[in-house]
Structures are given as structure tokens and as C-alpha cells.
Structure 1
């Protein structure tokens, strides 16, 4: 009976208090790759713990003789909860993915009708500086406005374009989609909104890191200020989001190797420790029966 209790407690902690605490650790953004790994491991561990709690409770009740009527009822309820959680995740993934792909397909079609192509970039006739990318399995688009081309210097424009290319190469859209699925699938008390916001910041910081290698920190920061008033359409990834947080990270040029290593070890522990201490002993118990 200990295994489902431990898994249930882990699920609650990893779904609520842990994301809440991580979202308030602003210094975590200084090591964005490690931070992204930590957020992903926390979300995955929370889902696995929630599903494992229900499954282990059901099996503990049914496979430990003697089996009473109340054991069958408890097992049935635990199994039903597990099925509901799984179904909500699958339904959320289907609805979120379908809506995003439809939105992006329609937007790409409109861009192709209205924009001219210049060096693989779609250029819209617009008076406001705008830059964003529209991901897609059958063809992505990097979109800028005419005002962006005239407002930015060559180095600034190169940094912005590399920022968008980094989004597309790294498939940041899939990362954001996964957290959008969790946000839509679970109740409000789960800290999925905080997780989703932090991951949105982190994908921008990661793209900024790639852009800095092309245009430099000063060029990118200047470009971000120029693009500060723009917003990206639904389903796209823009260059101007989370400006204050990103500028703060850009100003910090230290490597933070110790923090990066520590965060990666924490991410590994969040996945490995519950598995080693809870799931594997439970599976060994099943084999013994």
C-alpha cells in the first residue's frame, strides 16, 4: 500500500508546489538548456507518478490475497481514475495539436498569398516592425514586415533571422505544444500555467543564445527593443515576447557551469529517484507474485 501513497504524493508535489517554486527561481533562466530539461523532467515525472499511483493501487488491492469486495471497488475506482487521466491527456493532445496545425496551415496560406519572398523570408507590406516564424511539418515560414527590413541594421536583422531559424531547427513549437497539452488537460490547482509561461520564456532565451552567435548581444538587444511593440499571431513564435526577462539574461555573460550541472542532476534525479525507489520495487513485487 506504500507504493501508491508515495506515487500519489510525488504526483501532487510535482504538479503543484515544485512548478510553483521553479517559476519563482528567475536565476534558472541563466542556464536555459538545463532549465528546459528540468521543466520537462518535472512534467513527465508528474504524469508518470499520477498514472503509476492509480495502477499500483489497483494491483495492490487485487493481487494481494485475500481479495475482499471493498478491494475490488477500490481497484475499480483507481483504475477508472487512471483511465480518465489518460483519456484527458490524449484528448487534450488531439484537440491542441489539431487546433494548432489548422491555425498554422491557414496562416501559412495567407502569408503565401500576401507576402513576397526575399532570400527564403516572407516579407509583408506592414508599417510596424514584425518578425516571427510559423512552424510546419510540410514547410515553415519566417515572416518579417517591410518596416523590419528598413528599421534594423544588417547585424540586427541577421540576429533576428537566426533567432527564428533556431526556433524552427530546435522544434520549440513541439515543446510549447506539450506544455499546452498539460495545461489544458489538468485542473486549475495544478501549476501548469506557471510551467507554460516559464517554458515560453526559455524557448525565447534559447533562440536568443543562437542569435547571439550570429549577430552579437548588442545587435540582438537593439533589435528586440525595435520589435518590442509587435505581437506574433496565434500559433507562431515571435521575436518580441518576454522582452524584460530576455534582456536581463542577455546582460549576463557568465557561463554558470556549476548551476547548469546542478540543474541537470536535479532533472535526472526527479525522473530517476522516484523510479528507483518506488516503481522498480513495485514491479519487483509483481514479479514475485
Structure 2
């Protein structure tokens, strides 16, 4: 049991710092955003399992030689059938920390969802008053504002894309098509669920530097996925000019390479649109997916395998 807790603690430390830092600095991520997103999700899930599992196994060590027997003995202690003499202060602290961390993660996820749901509900009510349906698309509404604005508002039963009158006037039909395709990709691929998960992780563990790294990386990766979806309908030059116009309010002159906006339209996104790199090879993508699966399986095996009959 102690060896298992040490292994889980080591995996938790690796997934809390060196592995996320490496992935956030890796140059291949923009060549396969979808695969990289899978890897980020594996890091978050395996890291949480490892942290909770290490403390749980450490706390149960005096009660059994595996997780199941330890949990059975712990229930006996809670119900008063067994003595708690074997549990020292350190073990009680570890068990309490495991339970509290697990509840904290779940509660923060639920609280984040409630906050987001309330914010979107209020936003929908405002849009109902301040916007009009787009004449050519029932899933798009137009707000009467001069500033260039384009975003999507996800929902459980209905989702909508919002654009401003200023953006529609600043873009030609192909540019508007590119922006709408980008925003609809966010809705169709349910990127809001990924953002919710990693935002709640950051809110639950703000002291963990990698939660901030993961949140930033996921935001950029889903923007790249939406760019890729838009590129199936327009070419890269049209999408680039549309995104710059949406970000700055002014269309760049043809061939412009300076004065590009910052923020959501990051340097990495601009680079992959201006000078696209070849997609990551199939073998490399399969290797990343296999590594992601291994990350999730490893803590699960360490927790459950010792209790399985040989």
C-alpha cells in the first residue's frame, strides 16, 4: 500500500509541474490541436486521480493491503464494528484531505456550471431585447452596435451566434462566412464544456501553476480547432483578414504583416494561418493518444490492481 501511494504521489507531482510545462512549451501542439486537447484532458484527470489516490492509499495503509480491503475496514471503523487504534493522526489527516479534495473538485465544478448557466440566462434575456435575427440565418442574431463583435452563446437546447452591425459592415460576404463558420465550430464541437472543465479546475486549484497553464492552452487550442473548421469553407487569407478585422475593427491592407492584434488572436494562431505547418503525422498522433490513455490508466491500475485476484 505504501509503495502504491509513493508511486501515485510521484505521478501526481509529474503531472502537476514538469509534464504540463513541457506540453505548454511544445511546438507540435498547433499541428494537431485535437490530439493535444486529449492529452491536456488526460493530464487533468490523471493528476486529480493521482493526488486523491495517493492520500487515500496512505491513509488506508494500516487497515488493509489494498484499496478495497482498506475501504471495507474503514467502513467498519466508521460504523463502530472495528477499532480505530491503527489510524494515527497522519493517516486521519491523509484520509480527510483525500475526501475534502475530491468534494472540493466536484463542488467547484458544479458551482462553476451554475454561475455560467445564470450568466448565459441573463445574456439571453438581454439579447432578446437588443438583437434581431439575421435575415439569412436563424441561428445568428445581430446587435445594433458599431464596434466589431462576434461570439457564440452555447445552450443546452439552443445555441446562437451573435454578430454586430459594425462587423457585418466591415466584412465582405466571404469574411463574414469565415467568422460565422469559426463561431459555429465552437458551438457544434461543444468547446464550452472543455472551457467549463478547465475553468473549474483553475478555480478549485488556483495555487497550482499548471491549472493556469492548462486553461490558457485549452483556450488557444479550441480557437485553432475553430479556425480549422472555418478553413474548410474559406481559404486562409480570407479567414486571416476576417479575424484581424473582427479583432481591430479595421481590415488590414493586402499583404500587411505588422500591427497584428494580440489577445485571443495569438501569435501562434496567426503563424499557423500565415505559414501553415504540415499536420502532425498519424504515428505521432497515435503515440500522443496512447500516452494520454496510459496516463489515465496508470493511476486506475495502481489503485485497483492490487485488489484483483491473480
TM-score bucket (shorter structure): 0.7 to 0.9
Inter-CA distance 187–143: structure 2 relative to 1 (3 Å threshold): closer
Which of 1 and 2 has greater Rg? 2
Query: Structure 1 residue 195 and structure 2 residue 214: aligned?
Result: yes
- Report the alpha carbon displacement of residue 175 of structure 1 after superposing the two structures with TM: 0.3
Aligned partners of 2:147 and 2:133: how far apart in 1?
18
Counterpart check, 1:275 vs 2:297: yes
Indicate if the aligned counterparts of 2:247 and 2:265 stay in contact, CA closer than 8 A: no
Give the Cα separation in 2 of the matches to 1:47 and 1:241: 28
Aligned to 1:234: none
Alignment match of 1:123 (pick from 137, 142, 146):
142
Aligned mate of 1:169, from 185, 188, 209: 188
* 1:119-268 superposed matches below 5 A: 119-120=137-138, 121-229=140-248, 241-258=264-281, 261-268=283-290
Whether the aligned pair in 2 keeps the contact of 1:108 and 1:141 (CA below 8 Å) is: no
Over 6 Å off, 4+ runs? none
Counterpart of 1:21 in structure 2 is: 22
SS in structure 2 at match of 1:127: coil
Partners of 2:84 and 2:166 in 1: CA distance: 73
Inter-partner Cα distance in structure 1 for 2:90 and 2:25: 38
Q: Does 1:99 align with 2:115?
A: yes
Alpha carbons 1:41, 1:267 under 8 Å: kept: no
Partner of 1:53: 54
C-alpha RMSD over aligned residues: 2.4
Structure 1 residue 112: deviation in Å? 1.4
- Structure-2 separation of matches of 1:284 and 1:136: 40
Relative to total residues, which structure has the larger helix share, 1 or 2? Answer: 1
SS of the equivalent of 1:228 reads helix
Structure 2 alignment gaps of length 5 or more: 71-82, 250-262
1:38, distance to aligned residue in structure 2 (A): 1.0
SS in 2 for 1:136: coil
Residues 212-269 of structure 1 show CA distances to partners (whole Å, capped at 9, x for unaligned) of 1112111100001101137xxxxxxxxx8234221112234343332x6425423432
Aligned to 1:108: 124
1:85 correspondence with 2:106? no
Deviations along 1:108-141, whole A, 9 cap, x unmatched? 1111111110122110111111111111113212
User: Are the counterparts in 1 of residues 38 and 292 from structure 2 also a CA contact under 8 Å?
Assistant: no
**CA apart distance, 1:273:** 5.3
C-alpha spacing 1:282/1:142, structure 2 compared with 1 (3 Å): closer
Residue matched to 1:236 = none
CA separation in 1, counterparts of 2:89 and 2:124?
52
CA distance in 1, matches of 2:237, 2:161: 22
